[in-house]
A and B are shown apart, each in its own frame.
Chain A
Amino acid sequence: MTALSAPGGGSLALSALDGVATVPLALSALSTRYAYATFALLFAIGLYMMIASPNLVKKVIGLNLFQSAIFLFFVSMAYVRGGAVPAIPSEGGAVGAYASPLPQVIVLTAIVVGVSLTAVALALIVRLYTEYGTLNEETIREVMDE
């Protein structure tokens, strides 16, 4: 559990969040912690798409983007520079630093959840499309109110 108690990304992610205020730190965060920057960017884009797009399918795409950002976040925080694959060698014996396995497991589970959610969402959209003949949420609402 030693690897887990001091995961590679932990304190660094902290400094990345801390340093946004000053330009040099922000720059260094962008250059060295690009995974976190990408996470934030994807997260924001996905959320924006979900809220702003009137197209229902695009909303679901936004949702997927949003979730992918979170998966990226988990995977990148598990990464340990120079760490081995978190698998116990068959001959036994101690290994050095290895990547934290727990986030990987979490992401696998979360992906499954995400896929099933997308399936349900698409099923609902199919039903809406057959009923209203459009994917535009505003149009659907107009039709409903009539």
Chain B
Amino acid sequence: MSNPELALLVAVPILAATLPLLVGLRFDSVGWPIATVAALVEAGLAVFVASRVATEGRYVHSLGNYPRQYGIELVADGFSAAVVLLIAVVTLAVLGYARRGGAREKTYYSAFLLLCGGLMGIGLTGDVFNMFVFLEIVGLATYALVAAGRSGRSALAALKYLLVGTAGASMYLVGIGFAFVATGTLNMAELSRAIPETVGYSDPLVVASFSFVAVGLSVKAAIFPLHTWMPDAYAEAPDTVTAYIAALVSTLGAYALARIIYSVYTPAFFEAVPLAGDALVAFATTSIVAGSVLAVIQSDVKRMLAYSSVAQFGMIVAAFGLGTEQALLGGAIHLVGHGLMKVGLFLGVGVIASAYGVRTVREYANLGYRSPVTVAAMGILLLGLVGIPPSVGFLGKWYIAWGAIEAGAPVVAAVVLFSTLLTLLYVARLLETLYFRPPDDVEGAVPAADVRLRSDGGGDADAGTDDVSADADAGTDDVSADVGAYVDVDDAGMAEINAGTGTRPVSFGMVFVVAAIAVAAVALGFAGPVFEGFLGPFLEAVL
């Protein structure tokens, strides 16, 4: 039962988190290199664990070799391996972006690594109390990172997140307290056996314990109406932090919920207490609608994407609440897919904010022609979020819809399908602004003056400036601006143009990361059978 790679996955980043502070006493700017080395080690371990799970199936590591009745187990199965892989990939992606686009402080990277370790812990632990500890480690690191925005706003957002998040985690603690009272164990596998054997599923103690746990984790997963911390935290945090926490923190909250539902209470609990599952699904379904509607009315892009997360997590939790095999598979796929798409989107937002200093939907007017690669990648990710095939977003939706019909829940199926339109509401608004709204009628938008990519109505750069008037393009008043800008306006080039205006340079790496994530999101759209094969044993075990 000793498989130290599982313990290392958790321990490496937590131990590495101390290094930037220690080494930092002697050297400067060691944060990023240390974090990157740790992330590479993590990625290697994650791949190793995933391949072992793919061949051997579920396996465990008992910390200190204590038996699981009172020791702590780390468990790797299909679901946790998938999440661990996601964490490793997202960590690498965000670090790749952060080399030029992130913070320089050593403490920043300490908190970042601590967060990474906590997330790995949630993903791997097989003990409900241990999960609480990791939830709080994640919480602590996240609060600190959100507050790294250095503004009063970010401090308040962090404090709000801290209060709500801690309350949620405490609810979770009360819930597992009840479960402990009922069964006398804290190990997930033991609990799932002990609950029906000692007290039975419909025992008030078990029901109360489930309610507390579900509410507590719903706070972490930002299910409406417990989502209030999320938009502020996402909007006020630095861009790299937003990308990281948007992709992983709520994801692991939802993962914890699924893990507790299926590995502790098991679907038999839903059969014995139908109200529990129904209530969860009802809240989650409301979340889909409310999140989308709230997203549409936002003007800040990060806030809009935050509310979009509320809706998407609604879909994921609804899938978990349905309890059929396909729904659970869909929920797991969407959990991973959504994390991937959101990290790409928030990093894209970061690229645009770095290059042009704009953050609202209106100011995004016409950026599709100024940063073609970044915006195209974001467009693909946004369409993936809508569920346009082939993309990982569609895959999740397909399985969830199928699961809902299988579970005989036509209302949920209808909401999941209609969520396409709801998501389209805000996605289309952003896409239209990016590509079709001339910037001239928007105050604060990036002017299109020096960019002539969009006015390619037969214009030819070689012909010099004589043909400028030929581009009878409404809005290109100032076309006499330098032809040099016309030649291949990539993101890096634009950033140089903007260097004087207080915005930060955009490196090739930053754009590359966003583009690579978009490609991955599309490629994963074809990976349905892979997901199915990988998660199949897990599904069989829990259902």
- A→B interface (CB under 8 Å): 1, 4-7, 9-10, 13-14, 17-18, 43, 47, 50, 56, 59-60, 63, 66-67, 70, 73-74, 77, 100, 102-103, 106, 109-110, 113, 116-117, 120-121, 124-125, 127-128, 131-132, 137, 140-141, 144
Picked from B129, B136, B152, the residue with its CB within 8 Å of the CB of A127 is B152
In the complex, the chain A residue whose C-beta lies closest to that of B67 is A1
List 21 A–B pairs whose Cβ atoms lie within 8 Å, in order of A's numbering. Answer: A1-B70, A1-B184, A9-B181, A13-B205, A14-B182, A17-B205, A63-B163, A67-B166, A70-B170, A70-B173, A77-B180, A102-B186, A103-B177, A106-B186, A109-B129, A124-B143, A124-B147, A124-B158, A128-B152, A128-B156, A128-B159
The total of interchain contacts (Cβ-Cβ below 8 angstroms) comes to 104
Which B residues touch A144, using CB under 8 A? 152-153, 156
* CB pair A73 B177 closer than 8 Å: yes
The answer to whether residues A124 and B170 also contact, given A63-B163, A73-B177, A117-B139 and a CB cut-off of 8 A, is: no
* CB pair B204 A18 closer than 8 Å: yes
Question: Which of the four size classes fits the interface of chain B?
Answer: 35 or more
Picked from A9, A47, A110, A132, the residue with its CB within 8 Å of the CB of B152 is A132
Picked from B143, B147, B166, B184, the residue with its CB within 8 Å of the CB of A6 is B184
* CB pair A113 B147 closer than 8 Å: no
- The distance in angstroms between the C-alpha atoms of A13 and B174, with both chains bound, is 13
Picked from A7, A17, A73, A120, the residue with its CB within 8 Å of the CB of B140 is A120
The answer to whether residues A63 and B167 also contact, given A4-B184, A70-B177, A124-B162 and a CB cut-off of 8 A, is: yes
- The distance in angstroms between the C-alpha atoms of A116 and B289, with both chains bound, is 37
Question: What's the minimum C-beta distance from B122 to chain A, rounded to whole angstroms?
Answer: 14
- B→A interface (CB under 8 Å): 69-70, 129, 132-133, 136, 139-140, 143-144, 147, 152-153, 155-156, 158-159, 162-163, 166-167, 170, 173-174, 177, 180-182, 184-186, 198, 203-205, 208
* CB pair A125 B129 closer than 8 Å: no
Picked from A17, A18, A66, the residue with its CB within 8 Å of the CB of B170 is A66
Which A residues touch B147, using CB under 8 A? 124, 127
- The distance in angstroms between the C-alpha atoms of A42 and B203, with both chains bound, is 25
Question: What's the minimum C-beta distance from A31 to chain B, rounded to whole angstroms?
Answer: 20
- The distance in angstroms between the C-alpha atoms of A144 and B129, with both chains bound, is 39
Which A residues touch B155, using CB under 8 A? 124, 127-128, 131
- The distance in angstroms between the C-alpha atoms of A127 and B469, with both chains bound, is 55
Which A residues touch B180, using CB under 8 A? 77, 102-103
* CB pair A1 B69 closer than 8 Å: yes
* CB pair B184 A110 closer than 8 Å: no
Which B residues touch A113, using CB under 8 A? 133, 136, 140
* CB pair A5 B184 closer than 8 Å: yes
Question: What's the minimum C-beta distance from A74 to chain B, rounded to whole angstroms?
Answer: 6
In the complex, the chain A residue whose C-beta lies closest to that of B208 is A17
In the complex, the chain B residue whose C-beta lies closest to that of A12 is B181
* CB pair A124 B152 closer than 8 Å: no
10 further A-B contacts with Cβ under 8 Å, apart from A18-B204, A117-B140, are A4-B69, A5-B198, A7-B184, A14-B181, A14-B182, A50-B167, A63-B166, A106-B186, A120-B143, A137-B156
Which A residues touch B69, using CB under 8 A? 1, 4
Central interface residue in A4, A17, A77, A120, by most chain B CB within 10 Å: A120
Which B residues touch A73, using CB under 8 A? 174, 177
* CB pair A66 B167 closer than 8 Å: yes
When A and B form their complex, which 4 residue pairs have the shortest distance between CB atoms, in order from nearest? A131-B152, A4-B184, A113-B136, A124-B159
